[in-house]
């Protein structure tokens, strides 16, 4: 098995653990959750809030605890990905044994646009083989865009 394949498998295991952690957090807040309707769905699970069901994508940011920054992926292999995928209603971003922020996707995108404009931020490479592009945002700035309703 190549190093890239081994890293992908390791990331997948940690990602699944983070998804379970996110579901647990939503459950502790009194929200029911359910699996996505089909395995290839472009979100991780659904949760209920005030009688409505919402799709949520979870991202474990392995470097955030060391850097104090979050990486928001916007493309991979030249195609829209990450927060640019329109399907999820919400985005949970953080790391195991650390803070997890919940964002309405549209609110996160608006804040990211403001961040890019005010800081003249340029996309940076990330992910396996630097195949993705995205933006680095300090956790304290990202916190301002987090949903406070939950």
Which CATH number does the domain housing residue 49 bear?
3.40.1350
Residue 124 lies in a domain: yes
69: exposed, middle or buried (Cβ count in 10 Å: 0-12, 13-18, 19+): middle
For 5-45, write each residue's pLDDT tens digit. Answer: 667 778 889 989 999 999 999 999 999 999 988 888 989 99
pTM for the model stands at: 0.87
pLDDT in tens, 35-84: 988 888 989 999 999 999 999 999 999 899 999 999 999 999 999 999 99
Number of domains in the chain: 1
Q: Is residue 88 part of a domain?
A: yes
Residue 150 lies in a domain: no
Is 73 within a domain?
Answer: yes
Report yes or no on 101 lying in a domain: yes
- Residue 102 structural domain: 3-145
Q: Flag whether 107 is in a domain.
A: yes
Domain-located, residue 62: yes
């Amino acid at each position: 098995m190549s190093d890239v394949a081994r890293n992908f498998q390791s990331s997948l295991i940690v990602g699944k653990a983070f998804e379970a952690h996110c579901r647990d957090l939503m459950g502790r807040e009194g929200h029911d959750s359910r699996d996505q309707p089909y395995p290839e769905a472009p979100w991780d699970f659904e949760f209920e809030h005030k009688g409505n069901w919402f799709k949520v994508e979870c991202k474990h940011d392995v470097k955030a605890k060391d850097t104090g920054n979050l990486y928001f992926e916007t493309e991979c292999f030249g195609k829209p990905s990450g927060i640019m995928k329109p399907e999820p209603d919400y985005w949970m971003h953080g790391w195991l044994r650390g803070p997890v922020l919940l964002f309405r996707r549209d609110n996160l995108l608006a804040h990211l646009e403001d961040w890019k404009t005010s800081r003249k931020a340029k996309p940076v490479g990330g992910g396996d083989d630097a195949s993705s592009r995205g933006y680095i945002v300090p956790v304290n700035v990202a916190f301002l865009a987090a949903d406070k309703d939950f």
